Structure formats: structure tokens, C-alpha cells
Amino acid sequence: MTGLESFRIDLLLLYLAATGLFSYVTMRLFGRNSVRVFALLFLFNTLMVVVGPLLTLLFYFYLTHNKRKIPVINAHLLDVAQLQRHFPLVKRHYGEGPPERLLNDAESPEGRKVRLLTHLIRKLERQDVRLLQSTLSGKSDEGRLLSFGVLNNMEQRLNDRISDLQERLAQENDAVQRAIYEQEIAYLYREFVYYGLVTKELEPFYLRNAAEYALRALKAYPDPAEVYLLLGKIYLYVHDFKSAERAFTKAMEDPRYAEETLPYLAEFTFERKDFRSFRKILPGLRRLHYSPRASKLTSLWRTS
């Protein structure tokens, strides 16, 4: 064996050893410890020495023999005024940033804060009520007065409606109509807690009243599944999972309320770490239309 042949063999062995080492390290980095993965990486790295130049030649011949004309765009023909008409400048009415920061920013104009609050109260959501409550301790007099007025009106409307229903309930003799009144009173008591209109110390009182009126309504209510769904929400809020499970299971018996009840049923099984039951509910959740409550749970679990 000549010296040149010996050098070629040494060079080949060195290349194979380096390729094998690189394939092994790559395999370990990705946590795929198997002979099949190592063989695939080793074969790929080895063949690239031969296939790589061939692909480069093919790409070169394609570019040199490609006769397709590339259209030339004259940038000087762009009409900037027309672009601005088609793509108007869009700005936020109340400045950049989340509403919490804008309302608590001392440098933000008072008029802007009032306009932002006025925009929020057009259609109040749960998070908007908390935002209004945060402005009660702010430095803006206009903001404090506006927020206080809105929150006070919400509480007053709920209290007036409860008082009106209780007066009707006292004068009603029909059992079904009494149950309808009791169900609505239970719903209104829960609204106080849901929107955060009462302090933490008063929440048990309102939830206890809500559960009491809901249980009364079950005696003659024409649509008991709706009341069971409300009861399940009340029990879920106070972490009474056993009672919530019984209520949601009753509500699930009515197909009309099954889709609305299923996310709540999944939530409390997940909260109490009953993952075996949750796994049975998970396929039903994925068949639902988009639900914010259900999406928080399904996004954490995927079939392996």
C-alpha cells in the first residue's frame, strides 16, 4: 500500500469518525437515544458530501437556463397620496397602553380619562367593573364621581329589582310563578358577587341567599336544569365541589344545557385534581364551539 492510499484511508476514517461523533452529539441534544435516529443522522451527513455538490450543479443549471422574465417595478410610480387613502392612519382614541395605566397616569389629561370611562360604561363587563372600582381611589375628581355614580346605579338597580320580586313573591300563590321569582332573585344575588359589587366579607351572605332561593325554586320551577346550572356556579365559586358536581350532573341531563354546563364541569374536576374524570370530559370540550372557560383547560392537554 502506497503512502497516498494510506493517506486516503486515514482521511476517510477521520471523516467517518467526525461524522459519527457529530451525529451522536446531535442525537443526544434532542434526547432521541436510538440506533435508528443515529443511523439516519449518520447516513444524511455522509450522503450530503455527494448529494450536496449535485444539488448545487442542478440549481446552477436551472438558474442559467431559466428564461422567465422577472417583471420590473418602477418605484417612482407609487402614489403616496393614494396609499394613504387606502391605508388610513389608525390611532387609539385614548392613547396607547392598557386602560389601567391610562386611568392611573397623572400626566394623562382629565378629559381623556373621562372619555375612556364613558366608553367603558356603554357595555360593562366584569373586568370593567373592577377597573371602575380602581379609579375610586384615584386623583381625578371627575373619574371618581363618574365611577361612583355608575357603580352606585348598578347596586341600586339590583337591590330595587330584588325588593320588587320579594314583594311579588309575598303576594303570589301560584307555585310555578313563585319558583320563577325565586330563581330570578337567586340570579340577582349572584350578580352582586360575580361583578364584585360587594366586599369579600359580604360575599358569603349573598351567595348563601342565592343558593337558598335557588333551592326553593327547584320545588316547582318548570325548567329545573337552568336552576341546577345556577346552583353549580354558586357552589363552584365557594369551592364546594361535591355539591357543584351534583348540580352540574343534574343540569347535564337536559341536552339544551349540556354544552353550557360542560366547561364548568371540567373546571371543577380539574380544580380538585380529578384528572381521570377530566380526561373523560376532555373529548366533549373539544367538540364545543369556542368557549373562553373551556379553552383555558383544553390548551393544557393534548392527546399523545
What CATH code would you report for 223-304?
1.25.40.10
27-70: per-residue pLDDT in tens? 777 666 677 777 777 777 777 777 777 878 887 777 777 767 76
Residue 224: pLDDT over 90: no
Q: Above 80 in pLDDT, residue 135? A: no
Number of separate helices (H) and strands (E) present in the chain: 14, 0
Q: Which three cell numbers stand for residue 167?
A: 314583594
Q: How confident is the model at residue 88 (pLDDT cuts 50, 70, 90)?
A: low
Residue spans per domain, the chain: 8-48, 223-304
Assign 4 a pLDDT band (cuts: 50, 70, 90).
low
Mean local confidence (pLDDT), 70-97: 62
Please identify which residue in the block is written with the cell numbers 471523516: 15
* pTM (predicted TM-score): 0.57
> Strand (E) positions, the chain?
none
